[in-house]
Structure 1
């Protein structure tokens, strides 16, 4: 189902079990008519396992798992034909899903609004978003501080109309029939804010060109 594999992690606490049960209930309501309890719980717990192996703050895990499972279920619904609304889906991939792909996601969401869908992922997800990337985007009025590094999964890649890769090389997934673009953009990891700004601006230019190519109207 995904490139990343889950390692053994500590047993769930009572609070975590309750939080995951509540999340499963919300997802069941949201995807009623498309997926049953078994599928939803499988995606939710698998998503939880992926974050539990690298997380530093465990009390956030159920929320992250719910958000990731929701994205994956939406992707699966698109792949299986349960949901098609005509909006293009763009998936941004880099190595750690902590800088470049998150900034690209932020720009596309900001510029396109609800006229396109942006997802992101990494071949080796980090543990947090690069604070310099957050600061650089904040200067443009875009908040990516609530995003989180996540792995790519097969259903998410298959649901994308365009997959943009930035530095993940051979680790990036390839599915026949999917449009791919490789953007040569410097990695902001370890750089000061002044050096991240040109990377941010280059990503914005590329996102604007992509939206224009997809005939998606921007409001900014």
Structure 2
């Protein structure tokens, strides 16, 4: 069985990383127009850098939880059963990788990468960024930014995501709000292709009515239980 899993902020919430649109989420406390757009960065890069430096430190302090580890286990186990897990995340943290997952598709970029607006080079980056930070490739300062997708920008790896979805036998969304597109539209795409769909979330998302089946509760409980059920099924002949 080929499984396409889409994860959102809800899977990392129990690791201490805030969600965005829930009550008390990041965008209820901060204005995304001032912190997460190319225009905000051009107008006030110091404020944008301060916000993402804080988020980078928060991710450094966080640890993968049981939901991340369960998906890593599923990804490792499926090939021996003739299948594959395509793991696509809207999250910019690295908790999937630290839990043991590989080939994670980060459609909204990665907090531990920085990109130069002058030469376009992208670099692994765990230190703070600022307007005085010079690009390791071209040496220019002032153009280094978090290599994440801001509002108004096109998500990454869309061709690979479409191919992964087309090859799936099951689509599962975990910890997503069902608000941000194009990710929120993947369940409808799966349904049009005749692919069964399953939602795992703390509470029903905005697209919950589109899913065939669902399980609700904390990700650290629902995701491992779902993975155990998948691995308990008879292997494909």
TM-score (norm 2): 0.36
TM-score (norm 1): 0.39
The structure richer in helix per residue is: 1
With a CA cutoff of 8 Å and minimum separation of 6, indicate the structure with the bigger relative contact order.
2
Higher Rg of the two aligned structures: 2
The structure richer in strand per residue is: 2
